[in-house]
A and B are shown apart, each in its own frame.
Chain A
Amino acid sequence: MFELLGIPPQALLGQLLLGLINGSFYAVLSLGLAVIFGLLNIINFAHGALYMMGAFVAWMLLNYAGIGYWPALILAPLIVGVFGIVLERLLLSRLYHLDHLYGLLLTFGLALIIQGLFRNYYGISGLPYRIPDALAGGYNLGFMFLPKYRAWVVVASLVVCFGTWFMIEKTRLGAYLRAATENPVLVGAFGVNVPLLIMLTYGFGVALAGFAGVLAAPIYSVNPNMGADLIIVVFAVVVIGGMGSIMGSILTGYFLGLIEGLTRVFYPEGSAVVIFVIMALVLLVKPEGLFGRAT
């Protein structure tokens, strides 16, 4: 078997797969953030907490109601989405006329409250969530072992990301969303119910976070802090990709996951910071982000 710079291919491919999994989460989460920011002008710091909620809702559905993984994959995002809509109606909608900073502070506070509540009731040791039977085990590809569930995470995130991209870029509803992102007043003056569009967009964006949470539940243990740890990296991903672009946030998510995986192979000490180093470089060279439009 060939070796690359003394690295066995199994290790390389294994880390690339791990990177791709992380990238899948980065992509789904940063996509939601980008959609929300585009229309609502709010940097949704509660995104990580809502991702965590998605995982918890799946766990609760299973443990309190006996509802398994597959229905939870639909139900948990719906529940998180409705929760988001309540937040939007009650709280966020009062901030649209103010600076970004207020939305960021409010959602940051909400994240702390939500995480605190879950910590209070469920502790921080983490709750197990079993991989559904259909996705247990894996494939022996000869050169490496591919766990089925991990392959599923990559496929599901790709489908959701590109489905969302298609909806936003190629459908009439998406045209409303893009137009309202540019000029909500004019879209309203054409007779479109922009407040409703905003509400649904926020609900959809956080439902994506909830979906990612369900995907994550069997891999990472269900833990009140799972979102807080991840969201910092996801914000770096968003900064690197640029807030404005849907495709940009998707591609940047997968790309940075892979970069992180590669770093873990070639320079393990750097893997925790490589994304932040890239963020710093991008901010210096192209402050609006790789795919962002200069404003």
Chain B
Amino acid sequence: MSDAQTANALLSVRDLNGWYGESHVLHGVDFDVQEGEVVTLLGRNGAGKTSTLLAIMGILGKRTGAVTYNGAETIAMAPRQIARLGIAICPEERGIFAALNVDENLMLPPRIADGGLDLERIFELFPNLRERRRSQGSKLSGGEQQMLAIARILRTGAHLLLLDEPTEGLAPVIVQQIGRTIAALKKEGFTIVLVEQNFRFAASVADRHYVVDQGRVVDMIPNRELDANMDKLHAYLGV
């Protein structure tokens, strides 16, 4: 990647190392995300995609290296400070609070800046949630939980969304709905880092793909060159 690209990247990750306790799982992750882009992290099970998102958010056990967002170095910041810069995560396990109803889950993340989506727009994107506003988090289906997990980070004014496998285990119609949502969010101006196993889905929404393997970024493939690189990608992902 060129220096010019790095210089004006919204998110820039350099030599990111990460640990769960004693176990060293990220070994120097490097990548950039430009303002307004949708970028995916692809890779096999255990490659380090989730760990990379957690490390960016500051909630991996320990991290070193450099993670700059909007020019600010975040490596020494607490997660809540990183969140307040405008980064929000939709975790792999979705993290819907069982003791809170849909409305409370939706309203939980505090506003950190202007410019978030209003509730009306959020219910337009996720009509199913509107009917379930009073339902307890524990009573939602997997698809509803996933929608809620995305929905609740849209109203806070966060600008960079980290989405961890939002299509995992969901029915095809819901996968399609989430695909349309991501496209709509890109139009709204959000910047998105998307972790995906399903690269047919990834190809339908992303600008660029980073390939993660054994705790490193090993390749970058622009979406328009995806077809030409299919063999390589199959080898990386072992499919």
**B184 interface residue per 8 A CB criterion:** no
Is the CB–CB distance between A186 and B110 below 8 Å? no
Other 18 A-B pairs with CB < 8 A, given A188-B80, A190-B83: A175-B104, A178-B104, A179-B99, A186-B59, A186-B89, A186-B95, A187-B108, A188-B59, A188-B78, A188-B79, A188-B83, A189-B57, A189-B80, A190-B88, A190-B108, A190-B153, A191-B156, A192-B80
Chain B residues with CB under 8 Å of A181's CB are 99
Is the CB–CB distance between A191 and B83 below 8 Å? yes
Other-chain contact of A192, B59, B99, B110 (Cβ < 8 Å): B110
Roughly how many angstroms separate A25 CA and B48 CA in the complex, as a whole number?
52
Other-chain contact of A182, B57, B97, B110, B112 (Cβ < 8 Å): B97
Q: What are the 6 closest A-B residue pairs judged by CB atoms, nearest first?
A: A191-B83, A190-B109, A178-B99, A175-B104, A179-B97, A189-B79
Chain B residues with CB under 8 Å of A172's CB are 107
Closest chain B residue, CB of each to CB of A182: B97
Roughly how many angstroms separate A224 CA and B100 CA in the complex, as a whole number?
41
Roughly how many angstroms separate A152 CA and B153 CA in the complex, as a whole number?
46
Is the CB–CB distance between B80 and A191 below 8 Å? yes
Which secondary structure characterizes the binding site on chain A?
helix
Closest chain A residue, CB of each to CB of B87: A189
B contact residues, total (Cβ < 8 Å): 25
Closest chain B residue, CB of each to CB of A174: B104
Closest chain B residue, CB of each to CB of A38: B99
**A165 interface residue per 8 A CB criterion:** no
Chain B residues with CB under 8 Å of A193's CB are 80
Roughly how many angstroms separate A194 CA and B108 CA in the complex, as a whole number?
13
Looking at the assembled complex, report how far the CB atom of A175 sits from the nearest CB atom of chain B, in whole angstroms. 5
Roughly how many angstroms separate A185 CA and B58 CA in the complex, as a whole number?
10
Number of A-B contacts (CB under 8 A): 61
Other-chain contact of B99, A182, A186, A190 (Cβ < 8 Å): A182
Roughly how many angstroms separate A185 CA and B109 CA in the complex, as a whole number?
13
**A176 interface residue per 8 A CB criterion:** yes
Looking at the assembled complex, report how far the CB atom of A146 sits from the nearest CB atom of chain B, in whole angstroms. 39
**B7 interface residue per 8 A CB criterion:** no
**A10 interface residue per 8 A CB criterion:** no
Roughly how many angstroms separate A187 CA and B153 CA in the complex, as a whole number?
12
Looking at the assembled complex, report how far the CB atom of B84 sits from the nearest CB atom of chain A, in whole angstroms. 5
Mask, B75-93, CB within 8 Å of A = 1, is 0001110111000110100
Other-chain contact of B58, A186, A187, A189 (Cβ < 8 Å): A189
Chain B residues with CB under 8 Å of A189's CB are 57-59, 79-80, 82-83, 89
Is the CB–CB distance between B91 and A191 below 8 Å? no
Mask, A152-189, CB within 8 Å of B = 1, is 00000000000000000000100110110111011111
**B72 interface residue per 8 A CB criterion:** no
